[in-house]
């Protein structure tokens, strides 16, 4: 009888281990970017820009800074990942009397497919913002955007949106205690979220 109980407990432990192993791989879906819905997957180069008339905004208590933004990036190692990793750079233009530059050697963007045409998009980058009364460097580490492919996005080519998420101050004097980022970007060509 004791051997049967031990055998049953060992079987239960094995089932629980398999359940945990299965759930972690199901949550981290393989992600690829595609030129069509379920076709043309393996896109390795990405161009994204802010929407016409809807600039990126740094929202502070001193001054709000608005710029047009272009991201150019390429996949790292493979066109399939969990998450898919892009390395690239951001360029900032039309910032009024302000200058905004990327510092720290570029940006890293991670795309993790959550389901059909939906993904989490996380960022790591540093940006220097210089305006009257504002001369600060911010880190975008941990920013989480929502990515949608053309089939679910209100934008023709898809979109990534970050709404009022807090940036981390890296350096600068008299920087506001809180600076938030608000941005929506869209690919220059239709980019679907595949697996």
pTM to 2 decimal places: 0.82
- pLDDT of 183 higher than 70: yes
Listed residue (126, 138, 141) closest to 177, CA to CA:
138
Q: Are residues 163 and 177 in the same domain?
A: yes
DSSP bridge pairs for 179? 167
Q: Are residues 21 and 112 in the same domain?
A: no
Q: Are residues 165 and 93 in the same domain?
A: yes
Q: Are residues 188 and 124 in the same domain?
A: yes
Q: Are residues 103 and 11 in the same domain?
A: no
Q: Determine the pLDDT at residue 174.
A: 82
Q: Are residues 17 and 78 in the same domain?
A: no
Q: Are residues 82 and 13 in the same domain?
A: no
Summarised one tens digit per residue, pLDDT across range 97-137 is: 999 999 988 999 999 999 999 999 999 999 999 998 789 99
Q: Are residues 49 and 3 in the same domain?
A: no
Domain span including residue 41? 31-194
- SS3 assignment for the chain: CHHHHHHHHHHHHHHHHHHHHHHHHHHCCCEEEEEECCEEECCCEEEEEEECCECEEEECCCCCEEEEEEEEEEECCCCCECCEEEEEEEEEECCCCCEEEEEEEEEEEEEEEEECCEEEEEEEEEEEEEECCEEEEEECCCEEEEEECCCCCCCCCCEEEEEEEEEEEEEECCCCCCEEEEEEEEECCCCEEEC
- pLDDT of 35 higher than 90: yes
Q: Are residues 3 and 68 in the same domain?
A: no
Q: Which of 107-111, 131-135, 167-171, 179-183 bottoms out in mean pLDDT, i.e. has the lowest?
A: 131-135
CA distance linking residue 29 with residue 102, whole number of Å: 31
**CA atoms within 13 A of residue 64's CA, in its CB half-sphere:** 10
Q: Are residues 65 and 50 in the same domain?
A: yes
- Higher pLDDT among residues 159 and 39, named by residue: 159
Whether omega for the bond prior to residue 83 falls within 30 degrees of 0, making it cis, is yes
What percentage of the chain carries pLDDT values higher than 90? 70
């Amino acid at each position: 009888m004791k051997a049967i109980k031990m055998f049953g407990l060992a079987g239960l432990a094995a089932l629980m281990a398999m359940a945990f192993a299965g759930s972690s791989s199901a949550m981290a879906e393989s992600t690829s970017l595609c030129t069509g819905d379920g076709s043309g997957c393996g896109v390795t180069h990405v161009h994204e820009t802010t929407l016409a008339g809807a600039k990126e905004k740094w929202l502070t208590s001193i001054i709000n800074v608005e710029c047009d933004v272009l991201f150019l990036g390429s996949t790292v190692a493979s066109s399939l990942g969990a998450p898919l990793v892009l390395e690239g750079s951001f360029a900032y233009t039309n910032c009024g009397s302000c200058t905004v530059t990327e510092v720290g050697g570029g940006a890293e963007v991670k795309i993790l497919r959550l389901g059909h045409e939906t993904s989490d998009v996380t960022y790591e980058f540093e940006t220097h913002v210089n305006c009257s009364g504002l001369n600060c460097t911010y880190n975008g580490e941990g920013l989480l955007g929502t990515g949608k492919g053309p089939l679910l996005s209100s934008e023709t080519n898809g979109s990534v949106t970050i709404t009022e998420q807090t940036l981390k101050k890296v350096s600068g004097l008299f920087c506001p205690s809180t600076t938030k980022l608000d941005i929506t970007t869209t690919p220059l060509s239709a980019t679907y979220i595949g697996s």
